[in-house]
Structure 1
Amino acid sequence: MEGELPEGWIWTTLGEVVDRCESTDPRATPTKSFKYIDIGSIDNQSHRIGEAKAFLGAEAPSRARRIVQASDVLFSTVRPYLKNIAKVPEELAGELTSTGICVLRSSAAIDTGFLFQSVVREEFIRSVSASMDGTMYPAVRDADVLAQSIPLPPLNEQRRIVARLEELSARTKAARAALEAIPPLLERFRQSVLAAAFRGDLTAEWRARNPDVEPASELLKRIRAERRRLWEEAELAKMRAKGKVPRDDRWKARYVEPESVNAEGLPELPEGWVWIRMGEAGLWRTGGTPARNVDFYFGGHIPWVKTGDLTDGPILNIEETLTHEGIQNSNAEVCPPGTLLVAMYGATIGKLGMLVEPAATNQACAALLPDDNSPVHRKFLFWYIYAQRGNLRRLGQGGAQPNISQALLKNFSAPIPPPQEQLTILEILETMNATSLALEDDVSRAHQSLTTLHQALLAKAFRGELVPQDPEDEPASVLLERIRKERAAAEKAGKAGNKKRARKAR
């Protein structure tokens, strides 16, 4: 790690340039109020401390022991590669942090800002992470952090480096903020296009060029008639299999005709469109979860989709699998490729996915199976549900956890154009989505480029190439030697004082 350094710089360890911090046991003052900075309080993207937890001394977590001061650098020793690193702001001075955080307090040898920049470098993180011990709870010791070598410039040069890095960082933050504004704009663009699509605005010219297309209502009549015919055939076959031959047609009255949509209060549709309930789009079902305490139900060859696997697109990564025994001993059923899945529970309500391989689902997913005899293309319904996600989530409010049911989904109204117009709309929407996804990828790459740029600037700074050296600066070796002597003298005086007090006590 160590290499040649500019004039006036020196290699040293982190432990040589930081002061010791104090510890306390808050339980000794049970009624006193404390704020506690744990690892979860640190944002590893902005390197800032979010909300610190408040508690009384009597309720203190067992790890809340270390006292912090303003400008201390907090370095998480648990999974250090996650870079949970932050400086303590003024308002948290005197509060507590975890024993899982190494508190780095700058001495007179190192500028606080330079200390912070030293430990956020990728080179430093890699070196510390190499000391991790344990796989279930990978962590390093404070001693591992303090033993790390760092290049130390003269104090004045440290300050010039920090000033320059902060200047460049401000530009990077502005660029990052501009990038972060793009995804919400893209989503608003998507929603605007979708709203126009389902009002019929995007295909107004298409309808003018194709005035003789059969209305969707006529197709719906034929599909309803065909579904009734298939039901009657199936029911008649069941009765004959039991040796029962109906004497008249009264049994046909058991068929439940789909309820038409009351369009009152709904937007007016273009000529040739019709409202349907989504239950008429095809066969809907939900899945199930095998008993978790039976190991051999899991880890088989049947993909098992949960709502966390839904990403508003093709389902390409499925975390868990089931065995045939798991399927047979639960309500989970294997759905074919092309099945549209809709999340029904919690924060994921309305999340969507399309199966690209046979897979089962849990009970939190509603599944619309492929059906050639459907009045609506599944991808058309996919985009309509995507556009209506906000409304579905509002309908799911009211309980401890927001939920929607399969019955609610099946009863939800959807506008259906003729099949040819559906395909035209889908072509426009797929083009829009491909463009939006490409832009999102560009934004993601730009974010990564900014991260890479910052690390490149840090590397340049710690090679002594970011700011000019000043021969008038006191060399770091001279300053460090003076601090060592001062520490040694203080330690000697402390020991002498302890002996004197011990003699008095006797």
Structure 2
Amino acid sequence: MSGSDQQITSADWVESKSAPGRARQIVQAGDTVYSTVRPYLRKIAYVPEQLDGHIASTGFAVIRPHVEINSRYLFYVVQSALFEKQLLPKQRGVSYPAVRDADVFETHIPIPPAAEQQRIVEALDDHLSRLNAATEAVTRAQRRIRPFVGALLDRIALGASSATHLDRDADSASQRLLIGLSSKRFDYASLPPLPEGWLWRRSSDVCEFINSGSTPKAHLMHAGSGDVPFLKVYNITQDGQVDFTNKPTYVDHETHENQLKRSRVRPGDVLTNIVGPPLGKTAVVPDQHPEWNINQAIVAFRAGPEVLPEWLALVLRSPVVLGMLRKTAKATAGQFNIALSTCRELPLPIPPIDVQLDLVVQSAGLLEFSERFAAQVTPISLRAKNLRQAVLRRAFEGGLVPQALTDEPASVLLERIRGERKAQNGKTKRTTRRPGKTVATADAAPPAATAAPTTAIQQELPL
């Protein structure tokens, strides 16, 4: 599948008025819409029958194939790396990246004979539908894992899974140490009951200290290496770990001991971010270094003798406890902030030490399994994306389906299209406007671009 470098003017697409002076575009079934602006730059969708006659926003280039070009074939080509490679160098802007409609329409695509186009579409429909089904299964599992972990953490933190849960009749017993304490942010009287022997405690009463960090001037921070590791919010993961491989930053000993003295932390301290979104990422400081430092968006909780650091971390990750903290957040300039004083008033469920230890051990295996699965989702998604592009590349290099000498050559097909163009004096055929309905949005895979290989029966078509 491939051919000599014969070219033809742009394919037949909808009358468009985006860019200067274009108010709207009406799409037809079989069109391919290509998003030309962020936040969905290079997202692609195929217009189904039910969206025929709908209006596409001016952020889309609407690509309508000639009647003799298979619309599904064109849709797959636009998704391929062949297409993307041609458009990437033409992307404009940094803060608001975009490509012009003209750049999309000038991109070259490989055109095989019409019969081979159909064979390619049938093969791609088969291969990619199975790949899509597998990817969707992983995505569904990923969507379920976070609620599962949240429910597990709540059951652990509130004692629902504890063997020590003997009596819930004395609802007020677990709140007795909060009697007489007041808070503008939390209603201590409405806290849920806990198992016998468990108590709601104010965080400042069970922690040695609760402090937020601070950030020195830029020249005092060193990327990649230095004396003392300096943690930022992005170093705390959603699954409760410290990841210092992510853009590691350091400060020197003098800065650590003086300017940042109050924000020093050590292994076993529990960190939670109070500036977001997202809020409430929580992790225990690891023992890779004897001391660390934290920036102003992070609060450190140092467990006292009544609470294990691992239990404190589990509780602070619980949606019930974390939800109480998040409700106090105030929005400023697009950010959500939790006050340090709020962290000190936060009520925490505290069971006896031996129960804490048992529950930490019991939960470790389940949490490790969920975290291990979550860590596998990203590489699985990347492999699926690469496999998709490999299948598309093979299809458009002529290796996915057999060629047939009985097929009408692509050169004949393109000459026929050229003849129509010549008869129209090079003008694009205009479609009759139909009443608009609702906006058609693009929701599909990334695009692609490039020139085609060369054989006797394929030609190249600039959109």
TM bucket, shorter chain: 0.5 to 0.7
For 1:170 and 1:262, how far apart are their aligned partners in 2? 53
Which is bigger in relative contact order (C-alpha 8 A, separation at least 6)?
2
Match of 1:386 in 2: 317
List aligned pairs for 1:22-101, cutoff 5 A: 24=17, 34=23, 69-70=27-28, 71-75=30-34, 83-87=42-46, 90=51, 95-98=56-59
* Contact 2:321/2:348 (<8 A) preserved: no
* Contact 1:269/1:415 (<8 A) preserved: no
How far apart are 1:94 and its partner, in Å?
A: 5.7
Q: Structure 1 109/304 Cα, relative in aligned 2: closer, same or farther at 3 Å?
A: farther
1:175 pairs with 2:98: no
List aligned pairs for 1:324-473, cutoff 5 A: 333-356=263-286, 357=289, 358-369=291-302, 373-387=304-318, 388-393=320-325, 395-396=327-328, 402-467=336-401, 473=407
**Could you tell me which of 104, 110, 115 is aligned with 1:151?**
110
Q: Structure 1 267/493 Cα, relative in aligned 2: closer, same or farther at 3 Å?
A: closer
* Contact 2:41/2:98 (<8 A) preserved: no
Match of 1:252 in 2: none
Offset from partner CA, 1:426-473 (integer Å, 9 cap, x none): 222221111112222444444344334433332343244545556554
Where 1:349 maps in the other structure, the secondary structure is coil
For 1:492 and 1:187, how far apart are their aligned partners in 2? 56
For 1:303 and 1:330, how far apart are their aligned partners in 2? 12
List aligned pairs for 1:479-494, cutoff 5 A: 479-491=413-425
Amino acid across the alignment from 1:283: F
For 2:105 and 2:424, how far apart are their aligned partners in 1? 21
For 2:255 and 2:14, how far apart are their aligned partners in 1? 55
* Contact 2:82/2:109 (<8 A) preserved: no
Percent identity for Structure 1 against Structure 2: 29
Where 2:284 maps in the other structure, the secondary structure is strand
Match of 1:244 in 2: none
**Could you tell me which of 195, 219, 222 is aligned with 1:296?**
219
For 2:246 and 2:136, how far apart are their aligned partners in 1? 33
Greater per-residue helix proportion: 1
How far apart are 1:381 and its partner, in Å?
A: 0.7
Amino acid across the alignment from 2:113: P
For 1:25 and 1:461, how far apart are their aligned partners in 2? 33
Normalised TM-score (structure 2): 0.67
Q: Structure 1 406/479 Cα, relative in aligned 2: closer, same or farther at 3 Å?
A: same
Q: Structure 1 389/162 Cα, relative in aligned 2: closer, same or farther at 3 Å?
A: farther
How far apart are 1:382 and its partner, in Å?
A: 0.5
Amino acid across the alignment from 1:284: I
Match of 2:233 in 1: 307
1:198 pairs with 2:132: no
Q: Structure 1 140/352 Cα, relative in aligned 2: closer, same or farther at 3 Å?
A: same
Amino acid across the alignment from 2:309: R
Moved more, 480-489 or 148-157: 148-157
For 1:493 and 1:319, how far apart are their aligned partners in 2? 54
Offset from partner CA, 1:149-190 (integer Å, 9 cap, x none): 533222233234324423443443333332222123323332
For 2:20 and 2:414, how far apart are their aligned partners in 1? 38
For 2:415 and 2:8, how far apart are their aligned partners in 1? 14
Amino acid across the alignment from 1:352: T
Normalised TM-score (structure 1): 0.63
Q: Structure 1 303/167 Cα, relative in aligned 2: closer, same or farther at 3 Å?
A: same
**Considering only CA atoms, is the larger Rg found in Structure 1 or Structure 2?**
1
* Contact 2:272/2:283 (<8 A) preserved: yes
Structure 1 residues without counterparts, runs of 5 or longer: 36-66, 208-216, 222-256, 495-506
Q: Structure 1 393/171 Cα, relative in aligned 2: closer, same or farther at 3 Å?
A: farther
